[in-house]
């Protein structure tokens, strides 16, 4: 059954990508988060409600559980990365599969070798990075702990809108007939016409001037580090997803295509 096999492929691809992503984050991203948390704890935020992962009350509730710093926190981060990658694979693979099927299985056909799959996988992975990281980051750059920002829900709504418009806009630009392409550009621009929710005042309010300056430098590095880390994650995810679709899913996708693999090595 297609769904079952697709799910197993997503688990496999997500596990590999999530572990890889955790390693990449450990190198540049996590140290910056930890450094920002030192400043966050030292500062006295206006409402003292943003400290977390250190046992101090969080805005969601005074007794909120949080993983202990160190191994436990790393373990939960790895777990969240794996789940995040599985979820991303479950988005990317059905789209790749559908796209491949609409083209009669040609782009990801394996009889010409793995080259085409890798190439299209990188392209689709790049598209995933643009939609789920780059476009939202243009309006709402990745934040470090301790930064003040606009209301959470407004930012989540804008993030979701931007991702949806980005996916729809890219699909129109790249996948449909020429006359609809202008609409794709409009869709890509729509979230920025509306505008991301803005926070009135400094994101470093409540911090000493020199701490705010250091936070500013951390944020600049953080934006680059997260962009690189998530790009690597999406490129790997796209490549592995395309290979999985070509190798394991395409036999189930194209029942009218040459029937030689139809009853193949179904797992």
Partner 1 sequence: MNASPSLVTVNPTTASASVPAQLVAALLLGLVMLYAVGFSEASVAHNAAHDVRHATGRPCH
Dihedral sign for Cα 44, 46, 49, 51, please. Answer: negative
Tell whether residue 156 is a contact of partner 1 (CB under 8 A): yes
Q: How far apart are CA 69 and CA 146, in angstroms?
A: 17
Residue number, 15 or 91, with CB nearest to partner 1: 91
Tell me the window of 89-97, 107-115, 166-174, 199-207 that interacts with partner 1 (CB under 8 A): 89-97
Task: State the binding string over 165-204 for partner 1 (x if CB under 8 A, else -).
Answer: ----------------------------------------
Residue 80 or 185 with smaller CB distance to partner 1: 80
Nearest approach, Cβ of residue 180 and partner 1 (Å): 21
**Which residues on adjacent β-strands are paired with residue 58?**
61
Structure tokens at 74: 């790393």
Contacts for 193 with CB less than 8 Å, ≥ 6 apart: none
Counting residues that bind partner 1 (by CB under 8 A) gives 66
Nearer to partner 1, 97 or 108 (CB): 97
Nearest residue to 120 (alpha-carbon basis) of 229, 235, 200: 235
Crossing angle, helix 71-102 and helix 209-244, to 10 degrees? 40
Considering the rule CB under 8 A, would residue 117 count as an interface residue with partner 1? Answer: no
Q: How near is the Cβ of 220 to partner 1 at its closest, in Å? A: 14
Q: Which is nearer to partner 1, 52 or 119 (CB)?
A: 52
8 Å CB contact between 236 and 116: no
């Amino acid at each position: 059954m297609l769904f079952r096999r697709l799910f197993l492929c997503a688990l496999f691809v997500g596990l590999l990508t999530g572990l890889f992503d955790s390693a990449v984050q450990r190198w540049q991203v996590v140290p910056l988060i930890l450094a920002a948390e030192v400043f966050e704890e030292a500062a006295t935020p206006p409402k003292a409600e943003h400290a977390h992962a250190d046992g101090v009350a969080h805005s969601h509730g005074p007794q909120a559980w949080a993983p202990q710093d160190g191994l436990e926190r790393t373990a939960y981060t790895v777990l969240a990365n794996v789940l995040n990658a599985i979820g991303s694979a479950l988005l990317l693979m059905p789209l790749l599969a559908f796209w491949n099927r609409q083209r009669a299985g040609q782009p990801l056909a394996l009889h010409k070798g793995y080259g085409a799959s890798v190439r299209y996988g990188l392209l689709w992975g790049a598209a995933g990075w643009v939609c789920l990281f780059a476009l939202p980051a243009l309006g709402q750059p990745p934040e470090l702990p301790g930064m003040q920002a606009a209301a959470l829900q407004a930012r989540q709504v804008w993030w979701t809108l931007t991702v949806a418009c980005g996916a729809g806009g890219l699909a129109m630009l790249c996948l449909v007939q020429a006359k609809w392409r202008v609409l794709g550009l409009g869709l890509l621009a729509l979230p920025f016409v509306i505008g991301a929710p803005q926070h009135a005042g400094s994101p470093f309010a409540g911090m000493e001037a020199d701490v705010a300056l250091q936070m500013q430098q951390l944020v600049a590095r953080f934006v680059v580090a997260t962009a690189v880390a998530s790009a690597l994650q999406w490129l790997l995810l796209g490549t592995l997803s395309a290979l999985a679709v070509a190798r394991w899913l395409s036999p189930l996708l194209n029942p009218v295509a040459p029937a030689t693999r139809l009853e193949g090595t179904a797992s």
